[in-house]
Amino acid sequence: MDHTETARHDAAVTASPVRYGSYFVVWIALVMLTGLTVTVAGLHLAALSVLTAVAVASVKAFLVLNHFMHMKHESWFFRLMLGVAILTLAVTVLLTFTDIWYRARTFRQAQDTLLLPLRALRRSRTSRSLS
């Protein structure tokens, strides 16, 4: 065993252990955040429900990464690479939602353009049949 391996081994052995109490506190926080997600989903707040669910899920993911996966004890480079991966995922999700929003808006505009004459025609037929 050379000097660098010994130093790494000593650092791993002397790392501060995580106390069981912190696991319990984080678990309680995760349960409470899950309850918040369920409660908000039951309130039917339209678009705000989705934003709240994503925000709560992000906080829960942060808690799991930091405490259960011990990310706070990793090197800066490893945390940087995790940040790059999360940023890539966030950009992909953002672009997907933007595409869905644009297509839905375009679809609604096309529906209005195509259906307005049909609705006017139905109204005129209905008014003729009633008279």
- The predicted-structure confidence for 2-46, as pLDDT tens digits, reads as follows 556 655 555 554 556 667 888 999 999 999 999 999 998 888 888
Measured distance CA(67)–CA(91) in Å, rounded: 26
Q: What is the pLDDT of residue 124?
A: 72
Higher pLDDT, 58 or 48: 58
What's the chain's average pLDDT?
81
Q: What is the pTM of this model?
A: 0.59
102, pLDDT greater than 90: no
Structure tokens at 25: 């506190």
φ, ψ (nearest 5 deg) of residue 9? -65, -45
CB 30 within 8 A of CB 64: yes
pLDDT digits (tens, 9 = 90+) for 59-99: 999 999 988 888 888 889 998 999 999 999 999 989 998 88
Q: What is the pLDDT of residue 3?
A: 59
The secondary structure of residue 46, as a DSSP letter, is: T
CA 10 to chain centre: 38
Q: What is the pLDDT of residue 100?
A: 83
Domain boundaries, given as residue ranges, for the chain: 1-73, 75-131
